[in-house]
Amino acid sequence: MLEKCLRLEADGVTWGPYRGKPIIRDISLSVKTGDRLAIIGPNGAGKSTLLRCLYRGIRPQQGLVRLDGTDLWSIGPREAARRIAVVLQETPGDFPFSVRDVVMMGRIPHRKGMARWSEEDHAATAAALLRLDLKHLALRQFASLSGGEKQRVLIARALAQEPELIILDEPTNHLDIRHQLEILALLKGLGLTIITTLHDINLAADFATHVAVLDSGRLSGHGLPAEVLTAERISSAFRVEASRQVAGDASHRFSFSLR
Ligand SMILES: Nc1ncnc2c1ncn2[C@@H]1O[C@H](COP(=O)(O)OP(=O)(O)OP(=O)(O)O)[C@@H](O)[C@H]1O
């Protein structure tokens, strides 16, 4: 899983609803093996829409998303799902699935037709449960878990999928600060290629190897956090007064006030 090389590129991606104005325009960015890209921007900037284009949820109206040089829409949904795992905010909370069932769903793209789960499927599920410290919860109903536990299960499902890339939409939503830090440390520790939206700029600066700032559907910056996360860019994108301090360990901290 970790040894494969990966290159995901968005090239001039534009998308909007039928007969509506584009929500994201002319987005070009790239991610390669081992990168952790955080997409940040104010509410409504188009972050989730961009993610949908990147995981083949919606087809760009203009531009292309390429996986190792091949248009994502020419490789088919099943292969895309084998290579890209997606962790969204909506959860299967209303269905009577156990934690193990939910994690096992990550194996669906690998399953041959209606065949029974294979030994590899069981092994990948067990490994994902172990890695996310969920073994003791395997038989619990998913719906009965806390927000932090649910998030771990959804990440375990993504791991069971054995993808080359994990795409997450706001993985820290609804979590307290300790659980936010834990989830991001856990994701960092996986050593996988990750694209995630994040609302907290300070957490994004700590977590990401690269950041992309979306402002009204356009990319206002993409690259290394220290270069992209300037006070001017953040102030302009979020319509606030932002100031940046550099801590002793060279990490960046932002503070904010209303203009
Ligand atoms: N299918 C759609 N049809 C019409 N409008 C849409 C559609 N999808 C998204 N939008 C609109 O596009 C804008 C951007 O939505 P999107 O969810 O991508 O933003 P976001 O940056 O993820 O926002 P948030 O931070 O609030 O989650 C919003 O105004 C949203 O209502």
Atom of ligand 1 nearest to the CA of 52: 18
Using DSSP, state whether 158 is helix, strand or coil: helix
Using DSSP, state whether 253 is helix, strand or coil: strand
Length, in residues, of the chain: 259
Closest CA to 165 of 185, 187, 195: 195
The end-to-end CA distance of the chain, in Å, is: 47
Mean pLDDT of 37-59: 97
Contact 181, 20 (CB under 8 A): no
Atom of ligand 1 nearest to the CA of 199: 25
Contact 98, 140 (CB under 8 A): yes
Q: Whole-angstrom Cα distance, residue 69 to residue 131?
A: 32
Q: ipTM of the assembly?
A: 0.97
- Residues 58-115: pLDDT tens digits? 999 999 999 999 999 999 899 999 999 999 976 655 678 999 999 999 999 998 877 7
The protein residue with its alpha carbon nearest to ligand 1, atom 30, reads 44
Contact 110, 127 (CB under 8 A): no
Angle at the Cα of 80 from the Cα atoms of 96 and 211, rounded to 5 degrees:
95
Q: Whole-angstrom Cα distance, residue 124 to residue 184?
A: 22
Exposure string of 57-78, with b = 16+ CB inside 10 Å and e = fewer, is eeebeebbbbbeeeebeebeee
pLDDT band at 40 (very low <50, low <70, confident <90, very high): very high
Using DSSP, state whether 192 is helix, strand or coil: coil
Does the CB atom of residue 193 touch ligand 1 within 6 A? no
- Residues 188-229: pLDDT tens digits? 998 899 999 999 999 999 999 999 999 999 999 999 999 999
Does the CB atom of residue 45 touch ligand 1 within 6 A? yes
pLDDT band at 249 (very low <50, low <70, confident <90, very high): confident
Mean pLDDT of 138-165: 93
* Residue 2 pLDDT: 44
Does the CB atom of residue 196 touch ligand 1 within 6 A? no
- For the chain, the structural domain boundaries read 7-257
For the chain, the average pLDDT equals: 92
pLDDT band at 1 (very low <50, low <70, confident <90, very high): very low
Q: Which residue has the tokens 């994040």?
A: 198
Mean pLDDT of 167-177: 91
The protein residue with its alpha carbon nearest to ligand 1, atom 26, reads 43
Instruction: Give the largest CA-CA distance in the chain.
Output: 60
Q: Whole-angstrom Cα distance, residue 216 to residue 227?
A: 21
Top-tier CATH class for 7-257: alpha beta
Closest CA to 231 of 209, 204, 250, 252: 252
The residue whose CB lies within 8 Å of the most ligand 1 atoms, and thus the one to mutate among 24, 49, 200, 215, is 49
Q: Whole-angstrom Cα distance, residue 34 to residue 186?
A: 15
For residue 53, the one-letter residue type is: C
* Residue 170 pLDDT: 95
